[in-house]
Amino acid sequence: MARNSAGARLGRDFLIQGALIGAVAVIGVFLANVLLENVLIRQALRDEATFFLENRARDAAFPLPGTLNLTGYMEDVPQPLATLGPGFHELRFHEEDTVVYVTDQGGKRLYLVFDRTGVGRLATIFGLLPLAMVLVLLYLSAWLALRASRRALSPVVALARQVRELDPESPDPARLDPERLGADADDDVRELADALSRYAQRLTSFVERERYVTRDASHELRSPLTVISMAAERLLAEPNLSDGGRRSAERIRRAARDMEELTRAFLLLARESETGLPVEPVCVNDVLADELERARLLAEGKPVTSSLRAACRLYLEAPEKVLSVLLGNLLRNAFSYTDAGEVTVEVEPGRVVIRDTGVGIAPEKVSEMYRPFVRADESRRGGHGVGLTIVRRLSDRFGWPVRIESEPGVGTRVEIGFPAARAVASP
C-alpha cells in the first residue's frame, strides 16, 4: 500500500491516537500517585497527630499510634528520627520507604512514621494494572478498527488498481465489473465500479471510432492530395503553359505538399503514443537538410537566402517522421513570414536554432502562438494557424523543449532542445 494512501493514514492516525491516550493515562496515574502520597498521606498524618494529642491531653495513658503502616514515638525515639525537626520528612527507616511527620505540643515532640511501601503497592495494583488492561483493550480495539477500515478500503484500492492497469488502446470494461470486488465492497464502491465500467465501455467505443477515422484519413485524405500533386507536376511539365498558369500550378503543388505534411502531423497526433512509428538512429542534420530544401520553395520570388551551419552532427533515437514534421513546420513558418533577408539554421550540441529576419511576433503574442488558429500576422495570406500547435504537442510528447524569442520588425529565433541527442564532430 502506498505510504500516503488512506489505509496508511488511518494506521498513522490510530497509532498517534493510541499513543496519546496511553501517555495521558500514564501521566494521570503518576499524578494520582503523587497526589495520594503528597497530599492525602500528609493530611492523614496531620489528622492522626491532632487526634492523638487531643486524646493524650485528656488521658495520659492514651496509647501511641501503632498499626501495620503507622508507628508513633514520643519517648525512646530511634536515633534516625531524633535528629529530625518539625515537619514532613522522607527517609529510609527500618529498610522501608517512610514519611515521617514531626510535631511539637506542650513541650513534647511526636514522631509519626508512615510506611508508604504499601501505598505504592496498592497504587500499582489498583492503578497501573487496571490501566494496563485498559490500554490493552484500547489498542486491541484500535487494531481491530484499523483492520476493519482497511478491509473497507480494500475494494477501493483494488478498483483503483484495475483502472490503472486499463489499456487505453483497448480498455476492457469487464475488469471493472462490481462482482469482481469481493464481498467486502459496499454499495457505494459497487456504484462507483459500475460507473467506471460504463465509462470504460464508452471509452472503448471512442477508441474504435478514433481508429476508424485515423485509418480512413490516412487513405482518403492522402489519395486526393497525391492526385492533386501529380496533376500540378504534369501542368508544370507542359511547355506551352503561360507564366501565370505556371505560377498557379506551382502554388497548387506547394499547397498540396503542405496539406500532405499537415495530414501526416494530424495522424501522428491522433495516436496515444509513438507505438507503431519506427524508432531508429536519426541524423538531425540530414532531416534538417531535407526539410530546408522543401521549405525553400516558399521563398521563390522573394529576396530571401538560407543556410545550414553545423558545429556537429546530432543523432537521436526517435521516429524520423515525427522529427521531420516538427522541424518542417518551424522552417515553413520561418520562410512564410520572411519577405526579405535570410533564414539560418544552426546545429549545436543538444540543440537546433532557427533564425529569420521576418515580420517577428509581438512579445505579448508569443505565448499565444501555440494555440490553434493563432497566426503571427493575421493580414498575411497562407498558413493554417496550427503549425506551432503541432510543434508544441510533438515537443511535449517526445521531450524536445521549444523556446521562441521574437521582436516585431527584427525577426524570430526558435531553439529546439534535444537533451538525449548524441553529438558527433563534423568531418
337 secondary structure, DSSP code: T
Q: Which residue has the higher pLDDT, 68 or 333?
A: 333
Q: What residue segments make up the domains of the chain, in order of their start?
A: 6-139, 166-209, 221-270, 276-425
Which residue, chain included where needed, has cell 502506498? 2
- Mean predicted confidence (pLDDT) in 149-163: 67
Homologous superfamily of the 276-425 domain (CATH): Histidine kinase-like ATPase, C-terminal domain (3.30.565.10)
Q: Is 344:409 a contact under the CB 8 Å cutoff?
A: no
Q: Which residue in 329, 275, 336, 327 sits closest to 300, CA to CA? A: 336
Residue 272 has pLDDT above 50, yes or no: no
For 344-362, what is each residue's pLDDT tens digit?
999 999 999 999 999 888 7
CA 212 centroid distance within chain: 36
Give me the pLDDT at residue 187, please: 67
Whole-number average pLDDT of the chain: 77
Q: Which residue has the higher pLDDT, 51 or 198?
A: 51
What's the pTM value of the predicted model, to 2 decimals?
A: 0.48
Residue 180 has pLDDT above 70, yes or no: no
- Mean predicted confidence (pLDDT) in 391-420: 90
In whole angstroms, what is the distance from residue 82 CA to residue 89 CA? 12
Give me the pLDDT at residue 232, please: 85
In this structure, is the dihedral angle defined by the CA atoms of residues 267, 268, 273 and 276, taken in order, positive or negative?
positive
Helix then strand then coil, % of the chain, to nearest 5: 55, 20, 25
Residue 8 has pLDDT above 70, yes or no: no
Q: Which residue has the higher pLDDT, 424 or 393?
A: 424
Q: From the DSSP assignment, how many helices (H) and strands (E) are in the chain?
A: 12, 12
DSSP-derived pairing of the beta strands 341-348 and 351-356: antiparallel
In whole angstroms, what is the distance from residue 354 CA to residue 358 CA? 12
Q: Which residue has the higher pLDDT, 255 or 282?
A: 282
For 119-150, what is each residue's pLDDT tens digit?
666 666 656 666 677 777 777 777 777 676 66
For 285-332, what is each residue's pLDDT tens digit?
999 999 998 888 888 788 999 999 999 999 999 888 889 889 988 998
Which residue, chain included where needed, has cell 508507628? 71
Q: Is 169:207 a contact under the CB 8 Å cutoff?
A: yes
